[in-house]
Amino acid sequence: DSGVTQTPKHLITATGQRVTLRCSPRSGDLSVYWYQQSLDQGLQFLIQYYNGEERAKGNILERFSAQQFPDLHSELNLSSLELGDSALYFCASSVNVGGIEQFFGPGTRLTVL
Amino acid sequence: GEDVEQSLFLSVREGDSSVINCTYTDSSSTYLYWYKQEPGAGLQLLTYIFSNMDMKQDQRLTVLLNKKDKHLSLRIADTQTGDSAIYFCAEKIDRGGKLIFGQGTELSVKP
């Protein structure tokens, strides 16, 4: 158990809908990262937040957004969902902004029908 | 560009050593990682190596880094059936936290 929690574990929704994925980092970690794992794209970095501020952005679609709250939990919002958004979404956390050691949560499996 | 390549499958016998290989293209990598993913689970950080090191050993795991050839390997000694999983190589290329992952190597350990 990495100490990173993600909810929900599974999510099934329809095209065009909007969902919110939630992540709680390990106690004491200030950085949160979101990654997407899909069969065709593999594991891809989406976005990083550090202490409430966006610090790095990867291949994140404009339909997706994230934020980190004062209690350091983070949410990833996915809107106007398409079939191709079906994937495993992982959250990771690290103590500092450099992210040398990133610990991953169990993931949220999103299925878009 | 940023690219990390791994072979997709490796099969070994229990008790043998496993060697999983990875190549990367970005010479500005600062840290290189090995993560393990078991079915239905998240990624477990196994070990990592700073780019100015050649080797790191941690119990049954040995990481070798050849910066000249941009080649990273993970050797698992005395491989057990519990080592069956997908192993991901990853690199970190800047001061931010973005990790670039390979496509993963599925290790199958036969009794």
Q: What is the pLDDT of residue B26?
A: 84
**CB neighbours of A60 closer than 8 A, spacing ≥ 6?**
A34, A46, A47, A66
pLDDT at residue B81 is higher than 80 = yes
| Most confident segment among A57-61, A86-90, B22-26, B94-98 | A86-90
Q: How far is the C-alpha of B54 from the C-alpha of B76, rounded, in Å? A: 17
Q: What six digits make up the tokens of B15?
A: 């008790």
Q: What is the mean pLDDT of residues A28-40?
A: 95
Side-chain half-sphere CA neighbours of B71 within 13 A: 8
Chain B residues with beta carbon closer than 8 angstroms to that of A46: none
Q: Over chain B, what is the mean pLDDT?
A: 93
Q: Which residues of B touch A33 (CB under 8 A)?
A: 97-99
Write out residues 58-97 of B within 8 Å (CB-CB) of A: 88, 90, 92, 95-97
- Give me the mean pLDDT over the B14-23 stretch: 97
Is B101 exposed, middle or buried, given 0-12, 13-18 or 19+ CB atoms closer than 10 A? buried
Using 50, 70 and 90 to split pLDDT, how confident is the model at B1?
Answer: low
What does the alpha-carbon distance between residue B4 and residue B101 come to, in Å, rounded to a whole number?
6
Is residue B95 pLDDT above 80, yes or no? no
Higher pLDDT, B57 or B40: B57
Could you give the 3-state DSSP secondary structure of residue B17? Answer: coil
Query: Considering chain B, what percentage of its residues have pLDDT values greater than 70?
Result: 99
Q: Do B97 and A98 touch (CB under 8 A)?
A: yes
Distance CA B92, CA B96 (A): 8
Residue A46 in tokens: 């989406």
> Distance between CA A42 and CA A29 in Å, rounded?
26
With CA atoms as reference, the chain A residue closest to B103 would be A42
